[in-house]
Each structure stands twice: as structure tokens, then as C-alpha cells.
Chain A
Amino acid sequence: MEDELTALERINIVLEGGIPDRVPSLCLGSDFKFIDLFMKSSYALTEEDLEYFSNADLSPRFLHTQQLLAKFSPKSIYPNGLDAKIDLCWEIVDGVQLRKGESQDTFITPNGQVFKFIINDDGIPSYWYTGPSLDSKEKIINFWEHSDNLKVDKNRFRVLAKNRKKMKKFDIVVAQGIGGPFENGLLGIGYLNFAKLARKEPEIIKKHIDFLWENYQKKNLRFLLKTRPDLVMIGNDIGHNDGLQLPLKHWQKFFKPILKKYVEMVHDAGVKFIVHCCGAIEELFPDFVEIGVDGVDSLQPTINDLEMYRKKFPEITLLGTIDDTDLLVNATPEEVRRDMREKIKNLGKKGGYIPGPTNWLLDQKPENIVALFQAIREFGVYD
């Protein structure tokens, strides 16, 4: 099966509201656990793959393991590929390096999030957010005094153009991005602090979020755009399983104005803007339309009314939507194929749809992932 368009043409047509040759596919990338499962499966990289990918200078980058993404290629692109084409993946960058936490087994992001690398007793690594470091008003105010800690290093963006070029050989588009305003603003100070201050001293929250935008996010975004990305996708998980992680009015007051600035900067550079946003986020869709977001990713199907989104918000391309916590973990490949066929019929008939697992691959069955991407090619053809 030969494609008529390149992945980038196909994706841009969809994001512009048109109908391309077929439905494009999305795989954000893979976490450690999925790499382990994949390499223990019958699809594991062979010596021949490693030689080919080494010559193509692919990197096994965390969450952006280029060898795995390329292995899914159609035979016309890579003869030993799995014929299960991925069109779009995601790479996140931060212009400021991590630093050691107060406790020496933790790492702190520039905006104050505490993370831990943990090697589990099965020997498989994991990397988790464990809480905020700016957990008092005094620490937040002190943070503003040290804007020199947020000096964005343009060298950290050099890799982006190189990675796009490498993946282009496999006709895979790399959406590139930074952390969004919600994650940057809230996770560094914590939910408790945010809830308290947003009600009693909202000017502190406003100042903090504006401070981060001016001193950190805007500079990151500027350097990212200088690399001339094909697409920008930012990470901004605002939802949980039952709704938003904060009252809608707080989202609209504190974070929406900053997200609007992201969208404007990216659109001014002539690039489409996608937001990755986990959870049940129906309440946010009117705001996404208003500020001009081109696509929304994740959209867990068990907690979002996808058909309603499709009908009510046709301006927005829906990305993700394939259940990665039950279907892709527990179902059979045939059940995955059936789900994909139904989803394309219900959500993708008129374009506006880029399906894929709703998050980084973690504990899904490799055979289900292969079945998913093969099904998108099979059932996604437009007449």
C-alpha cells in the first residue's frame, strides 16, 4: 500500500480542515516499560535493524526512542518494517536543565516540580513527578528573586532540527514542544498551595504565572520556533477522570490568557498548534476554539464524549482517542482493529482526526500497537 502524500502533507491538510488521502496516525513515543515489552516480543529489533538504524544515526532518546518508531515503517520505506505506519510523534524539550533536589535522590525542573528516577525491583526504570518544591508562599516569592536560574540555553534546542531530519527519512513528523502554562504554573507550587492562594491571594498566583511566562516559557518557545518546527505540541494536562483539576473560572483567569499567548506566537511563526491535555476536558473545548488551538490530543474515550466533540467543535482536530489503559492493554488485536474501524467511521469521516494511543506507550501489548497502526492504514483511506 503506497501513500500518495507525505506524513507532513497529510497532517497539515487535516489540521487545516481538509481531507487528505487517508487518516494520519499518532504515536507520542514510548516509556521504559513499553521498550521492555517490545524488545521481548516477536517484533524486537534485530541485528539488521540495529545496523540500519545506526547508519541512520537514530537515538534511543527517552520517550522519543527513534528506533522503535522507525521499526513500524511500511516496507516501501524500510524493508524490515512492521508495515504499521506512524505519521506523527512527539518530542518535548526544556531550555533549562534539571538540578539536584534538596533530597539527593530527587531532581527539580526549572519551574519547581520534583521528579524521581526509580529503578523498580524488576530492573525496569521509571520517572515520576512526586510533588512541588515551591510549597509555600515564601518559597514562591523567593523563586521570583532568582530569575537567573531560568536562563534558557539555546544549545538545548539544537537537537530538534536534527531529530526532525532523521525521522523524515522514515516519513514520520516530529511535533515538538515545551511544557504548557498549567503544568508549569501549578505543578511547581502544588495543588494545595494553588487552591489556597487562588482564593485568598490571587495576585500571587497571577504574578507567578506571568513571571514564568516572561522569564521562562516565552524564551523557550522563541528558541523552539527558531528551529522552524513542522508542528508544535505542548504538554498541558488539565483534566482528571471526572473533570478539570481546578475550577473552570481559575483556568480562565490564570492559565487561558497564557495559553493564548502560546497559540499566537506559534501561529505568527506559521506553525500549527496542538495541545496534549489528558483527562475529561469537555469544559475547555469552547476556550480552545476561542483562542485558536488547532488540535487537542489525548482524549481518553472512556471519559470524553468524542462524537459530541466532533459535531460541536469541528474546528478542532481530535488526536489520540484510543484507550491505552484497558483496550490496548487487555484486548485482542482483533478487538483493537474493530475499535479503530468504528472510531474512524464515527470520528474521521470528514477529516479532523489523527488517532493513536492516548499517551506515551507504557504497558500495552506490542501486538495491539502493531494492530492499531495497521488498522489505521487499512480503514483510514478516504474515497
Chain B
Amino acid sequence: MTALFTGFPALIYSGLWTLKTVGILERELPNTSITFLITDAPPGFKVIIKDDDFEMEILDGLESVEDLESVQTDMYIALPSHYLLGGTEGFIKGMSDGVINIKNNKILMILGKIASVF
């Protein structure tokens, strides 16, 4: 058996997989594309949520926040790992510290759903 994903992509995948498997993804998450960049653990990765399912792809060239502008995506988030692993509190602190870059505020609802798994 080989690993499809490990590390931060696997963490986000695990959350989305759980939401999908118990039926919450279909009920509560919109069709969209989201790009993640954990700034101290590049490269970034992109998730496409479509028709009650999702796919994940590692974006090998996505190394920095500047690279995000060239990615075709409905939403993105770039942040250091510490703030992602800090859950809701960590996220709020990251926002107030100004170290989180976001495209499209709807991403917060989706992150909240993923965070409900952990």
C-alpha cells in the first residue's frame, strides 16, 4: 500500500473525507475550488469540491504567497502551520497578527467544517 498524501495535504484530506463519508459534504459544502499554502511546508495543494465529492492535487510550483495569484482557484488561504494547527483560536490569532492571506471569505465556513473533525 502506498500513500496518496501525507503531511498537511493528508490532514485537510482527512477532514474532507470524513465530511464526505458521513454525508455532510454533500449537504453543507458548495461546489468550489480551494488552494492551500502552508507557508512553512510548501508546496501548496488544491482541493476541488464538486458533485458531493472532492479531489486533491499537489501544486509543485506553488512555493510562496506571490505564486497564489497565478493559480486558478475560487478561494485560497496561505498561513504558517502554527496557526492552522491552533484550531479556531489559532486562526483568530493569525488573522489579528496579519499573517493569514485569504481570497474569498467563504473559505472560513469551509475551514470551520473541516476543523469540526479535529
**A interface, CB within 8 angstroms of B:** 32, 35-36, 39, 45, 47, 50, 54, 59-62, 65, 67-68, 97-100, 104-107, 116-125, 127, 153, 155-156
Contacts and interface: CB of A to CB of B under 8 A. Distances in A.
B21 A39 contact: yes
B51 interface: no
Contact of A117 (B1, B14, B24, B82): B14
Interface in B44-97: 81-82, 85-87, 89-90
12 contacts: A35-B22, A61-B118, A65-B18, A100-B38, A104-B41, A105-B10, A116-B7, A118-B5, A119-B5, A119-B17, A121-B2, A121-B4
B85 A35 contact: no
Contact of A124 (B11, B17, B82): B17
Nearest to A153: B89
A119 B27 contact: no
A338 B65 CA distance: 60
Contacts of A155: 89
A99 B85 contact: yes
Interface string B96-116: 000000000000000000001
Contact of A59 (B8, B13, B85, B116): B116
Contact of A60 (B9, B18, B41): B18
Contacts of A60: 18-19, 22, 24, 116-117
Contact of A119 (B3, B19, B22, B117): B3
A370 to B, nearest CB: 17
A99 B82 contact: yes
Given A45-B23, A104-B7, A62 B14 contact: yes
Contact of B11 (A50, A99, A117, A153): A117
Given A60-B18, A125-B17, 16 more contacts: A32-B14, A62-B18, A97-B82, A100-B40, A100-B82, A104-B7, A105-B7, A117-B6, A117-B11, A118-B6, A119-B5, A121-B2, A125-B13, A125-B18, A155-B89, A156-B89
Given A32-B17, A61-B118, A127-B14, A118 B3 contact: yes
Contacts of B27: 50, 54
A243 B41 CA distance: 41
Contacts of A61: 116-118
A119 B6 contact: yes
Nearest to A122: B1
A120 B14 contact: no
Contact of A97 (B5, B14, B17, B86): B86
B15 to A, nearest CB: 8
Contact of B10 (A119, A121, A153): A119
B7 A117 contact: yes
B23 A120 contact: no
Nearest to B22: A60
Contacts of A106: 7
A59 B24 CA distance: 10
B116 A97 contact: no
Contact of A65 (B3, B14, B22): B22
A54 B10 CA distance: 26
A50 B118 contact: no
A30 B2 CA distance: 23
